[in-house]
Structure 1
């Protein structure tokens, strides 16, 4: 899996791949990470990449020429690249998107800055546009890293224990059950005793009960989807 980050501020992102799971994945050749800076493609002698908003308004907008030429260069070098734009108006990024995108061989993330990107760039080059939430950030670098991280974990071999993916939150409509470790008692708080008895059928039943309770409390809309799916599956039989 290859990731290309189109950003004005690669130093903000580079360190994320310098440690832990993603660093090991790069070392094993499972992930490849590179970047392109639109300033390197601008025709402006001052390396300018932004200008005032057409029609008036506060803030600056990333101009079309630098990004057009950046993405043209990228597409010519890698015709099968799948180009994603990070934008507050994009569709919400979901775990299902991460699973789907993990099957691509090359994904590029275009990170906007200022008041956004000239829409003609988006209309011409975007394969998909994503948002990671209903809030505004100073740039698209963090959303790009969030999506790259989520996608990376699904690439075969990246996680040490691939079986852990199956039980994670959002793999079904349920959130993942609470997790515990040693010691058995900490500050007078105990691990649920059933988790310590070695009866795996009872452990699984308890984990499902805890996952149901957690989902119902924190994400009631997902709980309703889960119960509806369970009801639909029972009605088939």
Structure 2
């Protein structure tokens, strides 16, 4: 899989891939990371990529020409995704879906975002990581990339690591324990994998109901649909 980051500050993104699981995924050839800076495509002598808003208003807007030319430089077929607080909220299901593409391109907005005409002509979908405002889209792009990459085959050392995680089937992950064993439910120590699995599922339900009642409602609807 290839992930293209479109950003005027690629140095904010690159260090994240220099260690740990994501670095190993790159070293193994599971994922390729590419950076595209719209400034490199600006026809302005000062490499400007922003202009004031038409009609007035505070702030500046990322302009059409540099961004469109940056996107046109991508040679492979790629899913174009813009990060914006106006977008659909990003979920684990989106991460799993994105992992099925051979290439995705993440646009990190700056200033007051991007010209709306870019959204209409060049972007496949707009994603938000939450109802709050960041200084730029680089952090949001990293969230989407990280969540997506870990769903690629071979990235996690144990494929079972993806099973039973939070948000799978609308449930939070069940409580986990390590030594010492004081305070650990006795069933966890019984060696009976069936009973352990049943307890984990029940604890997932209770945890979701308590911490995320909104998610628990979706889980109940999901369960009814299975019957």
Aligned residues: 227
Pick from 172, 175, 195: which aligns with 2:188? Answer: 195
User: In the alignment, is the contact (CA less than 8 A) between 2:170 and 2:219 conserved in 1?
Assistant: yes
Question: Normalising by the residue count of structure 2, what TM-score does the alignment of the two structures yield?
Answer: 0.96
Give distance in 2, aligned partners of 1:70 and 1:42: 9
TM-fit CA distance, 1:232: 4.0
Which residue is equivalent to 1:125?
Answer: 122
Which residue is equivalent to 2:56?
Answer: 56
> What do the CA deviations read for 1:90-125 (whole angstroms, capped 9, x no partner)?
111111111111111111101000111111112111
Structure 1 residues without counterparts, runs of 5 or longer: none
Give distance in 2, aligned partners of 1:105 and 1:27: 17
Structure 2 residues without counterparts, runs of 5 or longer: none
Give distance in 2, aligned partners of 1:94 and 1:228: 17
Which residue is equivalent to 2:163?
Answer: 166
Give distance in 1, aligned partners of 2:224 and 2:119: 42
| Mean Cα deviation higher: 92-101 or 102-111 | 92-101
User: In the alignment, is the contact (CA less than 8 A) between 2:85 and 2:133 conserved in 1?
Assistant: yes
CA-based RMSD: 1.1
User: In the alignment, is the contact (CA less than 8 A) between 2:169 and 2:222 conserved in 1?
Assistant: no
Aligned 1:1-237 pairs, distance under 5 A: 1-74=1-74, 77-78=75-76, 80-185=77-182, 190-234=183-227
Give distance in 1, aligned partners of 2:90 and 2:19: 25
Instruction: Classify the secondary structure of the residue corresponding to 2:3.
Output: strand
TM-fit CA distance, 1:193: 2.1
Give distance in 2, aligned partners of 1:173 and 1:107: 25
TM-fit CA distance, 1:225: 2.3
User: In the alignment, is the contact (CA less than 8 A) between 2:50 and 2:62 conserved in 1?
Assistant: yes
- Deviating 4+ runs (over 4 angstroms): none
TM-fit CA distance, 1:233: 3.2
Give distance in 2, aligned partners of 1:205 and 1:99: 25
Give distance in 1, aligned partners of 2:18 and 2:117: 35
TM-fit CA distance, 1:142: 0.8
| Mean Cα deviation higher: 221-230 or 140-149 | 221-230
